[in-house]
Each structure stands twice: as C-alpha cells, then as structure tokens.
C-alpha cells in the first residue's frame, strides 16, 4: 500500500496537548525538531508509516468542505503549498485538536506533525502531512557499560512498535477530499469519535476496498440478524454460507450483486430478504453497497476473521467449521443431550 523506500522526513514539529477538561492548554514549541542523524529519521519514518498495514483509505468529508466547516483543511493545504509553513500551521493544528479534546477520557499527549516527501502510494509518488498523537509513553531500560561493570537506568519514551493515534494526508486527489490513512488504537466508546470524526472529519473513501468490505459485513450481519431467527440457521449453516461468499470473492475478479446473491443464498426467498436487508444495513451503517465493482483481495484479507466460524459447545469443545454442511450432523440423543456428528475422509 505505502512504500517508503525513497521517502524522507523533511520537517517535524512537536507540541504538547494538555487535557482540555482540566484547562491545561497547549504548550507550543517554537522550533523544528533537529534530526541530524539519518538513522533517527529512518526510525521515525517507520514509526509514522508501518502501522498502516491495511489499504483502507479515507477522505475529508466533502460536504463539510463545501460548507466551510472543516477547519483542518486550511493548515494542511498551507503546508502542501509551502512546507516552510509547517512551523506556523502546526500550531493551528495543535490548537484545533485541543478544542476537540473535551471528553474526560481523552488523555494529554505529544502531537507530532511532519512533512514527508516522496512516498509511493498506489503507483503514485506523493508528499504527505503526518499528524501523530502519542498519549502513552513506555518504560524501558538503558544499559551503559564501563570496562568492569554495567549501569542500568530506567527511562520513558515512545515505543516504536505502538502508535496511539495517527493520520497520513497524501497530496493527491485534493478535488475529492484528498487520500488519507488514519487510525485510533486507544480510544473506546464515545471518545473514539473525537479523532476520526470531530478532529479529522473523515469519511471512508468509496473504492473497491470499501465496497468489498461492506458486502462482507452485510452478508455476515444478515445471517445473524435475519436468517438465524427466520430460517433457524445455526453456526454450521453460517459457516457454509460464509464459505460460499469467500469462494466467490476469492475466485472472481468482478463483483456482480445478482450473481453473488444467487450463488451465496441460492433460495429465492432468502435472496429477496437479503435485498431488503441491504437497504436497512446501508442506511443504519451510513455506507454504500454498490451493485458491481472490482473485488479487493486486500479487503478479503482484512476481513478474514469474518469468515471463521466456531462452534462453542459448553466449555468442553471448540469446533472450527470451514464449509460442507453435509459433513456435519446435528441431533439430540435419548437422554436429551445435544450432539454434532462429524464426517471426514482423512485425518491431517
């Protein structure tokens, strides 16, 4: 998705964001961070980039751009126009983030804002603005060796393996709200909206990844929400249907909704129910379900857990089901105990 082999951090500013609920304010640092050693730049570049392992892109909410209610847009565009503006515009970004940090569960932290050149994204060389918030420092030990002994010191710093909140805004597709990667690995519940929605004002980018992911999720939800109560399907039935879905998505290049529904659900009544359910799902989740698109195999990999079906039988057994409903038989014995009978051709 993102290749950083020729990329370079050109500028970096860091400000401290206090807790808004405690009126701690923002501590603005006037000077850029000095990064004299190439190895430090490489470590920081990996820290900024490597967490984005899934090719799931976002854009700025275009409706808010049109309404003039997306304040983050202006400082980002100023930096793209003139990277020397990073020092000034990073303060505007820090102030904006602080204004949206009014939930009591939002922690203070350091805000890193960087201008990165020459990233390779989807066959295009682009520059990017990185916005990273570090809320959790990690403890580590530093070992210093003298000729005849070691000295151990306890320090706190940023773990390069863990990133709290991050955003990469690529200088491409500006007319559509830019191409953006973003994540929030620490926020839960109501405060989780503040980074992605309130501060960044992002919407999912409607590409093949987006459409493939939505159809997988709609299929899984339909089985649980509609088929289970109406058609009395069980976990084994669910596994068979999701296995058909996986086979279709894996072996086809182009998605056709009618062909997909015919091959996955087979029964006309179930297909009609799914078509009705799709409309409810799209409205409730505020997503689009396209009728045809190129299937994204990256989205299939991203949603791999959706296709795993596990029979949890009391606390004694977990049975993983990968397909073939006729190889598993459900019943109840004379003593009223429920059972599953499994058939197989060979033990592997």
Domain boundary among 140, 175, 204: 204
Q: 240 lies in a domain?
A: yes
Q: 78 lies in a domain?
A: yes
Tens of pLDDT, residue by residue over 295-339, are 999 999 999 888 876 767 777 777 777 666 667 777 888 888 888
Residue 252's Cβ-count burial label (10 Å; 0-12, 13-18, 19+) is middle
pLDDT of residue 323: 60
**Mean pLDDT of the 236-257 span:** 92
Tens of pLDDT, residue by residue over 111-130, are 999 999 999 998 899 999 99
312, containing H or E segment: strand 309-313
**Mean pLDDT of the 215-221 span:** 96
Q: 196 lies in a domain?
A: yes
Residue 49's Cβ-count burial label (10 Å; 0-12, 13-18, 19+) is buried
Q: 15 lies in a domain?
A: yes
**Mean pLDDT of the 225-247 span:** 88
Same domain, 11 and 151: yes
pLDDT of residue 11: 96
* C-alpha pair distances (Å), 50 with each of 8, 9, 45, 276: 14, 14, 8, 40
Domain boundary among 170, 204, 238: 204
**Mean pLDDT of the 136-152 span:** 89
Q: 347 lies in a domain?
A: no
pLDDT of residue 340: 78
Q: b/e map of 259-290 (b: 16 or more CB within 10 Å)? A: ebbeebbeeeebbebbeebbeebeeeeebebe
Same domain, 302 and 324: yes
Same domain, 68 and 178: yes
pLDDT: which is higher, 54 or 3: 3
Same domain, 15 and 144: yes
Integer Cα distance of 264 and 118 in angstroms: 43
Q: Mean pLDDT, the chain, as a whole number?
A: 90
Measure CA 102 to chain center. Answer: 24
Same domain, 229 and 195: no
Same domain, 41 and 145: yes
**Mean pLDDT of the 97-119 span:** 94
User: Quick one: pLDDT band at residue 157, thresholds 50, 70, 90?
Assistant: confident
Least confident of 83-97, 236-250, 257-271: 236-250
pLDDT of residue 325: 61
Q: 348 lies in a domain?
A: no
Same domain, 134 and 276: no
Same domain, 171 and 231: no
1-10, 251-260, 319-328: range with highest mean pLDDT: 251-260
**Mean pLDDT of the 153-177 span:** 90
Cβ-based neighbours of 183, under 8 Å, separated by 6 or more: 51, 52, 163, 165, 166, 167
Same domain, 91 and 212: no
Same domain, 244 and 167: no
Domain boundary among 204, 229, 263: 204
Integer Cα distance of 216 and 210 in angstroms: 10
Contact (Cβ atoms closer than 8 angstroms) between residue 196 and residue 248: no
**Matching residue, tokens 């932290």:** 109
Strand ranges, E, within 2-158: 2-3, 8-17, 26-27, 58-60, 109-121, 124-134, 138-145, 150-157
Q: 225 lies in a domain?
A: yes
Same domain, 186 and 215: no
Integer Cα distance of 116 and 220 in angstroms: 39
Q: 199 lies in a domain?
A: yes
Structural domain total, the chain: 2
Same domain, 240 and 92: no
The runs of H, that is alpha helices, within the chain are: 38-49, 62-67, 73-81, 86-99, 193, 208-222, 228-231, 235-251, 257-265, 268-285, 297-302
* C-alpha pair distances (Å), 195 with each of 39, 63, 89, 131, 185: 30, 18, 18, 11, 11
Task: Specify the 3-state DSSP secondary structure of 102.
Answer: coil
Range of the domain at 14: 2-204
pTM (2 d.p.): 0.84
């Amino acid at each position: 998705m993102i290749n950083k082999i020729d990329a370079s951090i050109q500028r970096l500013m860091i400000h401290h964001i206090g807790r808004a609920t405690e009126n701690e304010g923002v501590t603005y640092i006037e000077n850029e961070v000095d990064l004299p050693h190439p190895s430090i730049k490489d470590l920081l570049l990996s820290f900024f980039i490597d967490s984005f392992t899934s090719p799931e892109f976002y854009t700025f909410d275009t409706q808010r751009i049109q309404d003039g209610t997306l304040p983050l847009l202006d400082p980002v565009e100023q930096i793209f126009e003139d990277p020397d503006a990073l020092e000034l515009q990073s303060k505007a970004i820090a102030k904006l983030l602080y204004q949206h940090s009014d939930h009591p569960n939002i922690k203070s932290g350091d805000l890193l804002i960087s201008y990165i050149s020459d990233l390779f994204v989807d066959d295009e060389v682009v520059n990017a603005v990185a916005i990273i918030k570090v809320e959790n420092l990690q403890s580590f030990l530093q070992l210093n060796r003298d000729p005849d002994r070691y000295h151990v010191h306890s320090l706190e710093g940023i773990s390069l393996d863990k990133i709290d909140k991050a955003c990469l805004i690529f200088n491409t597709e500006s007319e559509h709200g830019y191409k953006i990667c973003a994540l929030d690995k620490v926020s839960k519940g109501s405060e989780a909206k503040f980074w992605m929605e309130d501060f960044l004002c992002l919407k999912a980018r409607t590409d093949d990844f987006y459409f493939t992911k939505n159809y997988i999720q709609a299929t899984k939800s339909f089985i649980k929400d509609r088929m289970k109560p109406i058609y009395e399907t069980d976990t084994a039935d669910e596994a068979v249907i999701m296995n058909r879905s996986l086979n279709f998505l894996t072996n086809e290049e182009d998605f056709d909704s009618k062909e997909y529904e015919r091959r996955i659900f087979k029964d006309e009544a179930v297909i009609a129910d799914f078509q009705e359910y799709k409309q409810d799902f799209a409205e409730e989740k505020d997503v689009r379900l396209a009728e045809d698109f190129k299937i994204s195999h990256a989205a299939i990999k991203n949603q791999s857990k959706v296709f795993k079906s596990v029979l949890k039988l009391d606390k004694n057994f977990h049975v993983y089901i990968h397909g073939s409903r006729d190889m598993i038989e459900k019943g109840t014995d004379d003593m009223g105990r429920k059972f599953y009978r499994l058939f197989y051709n060979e033990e592997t």
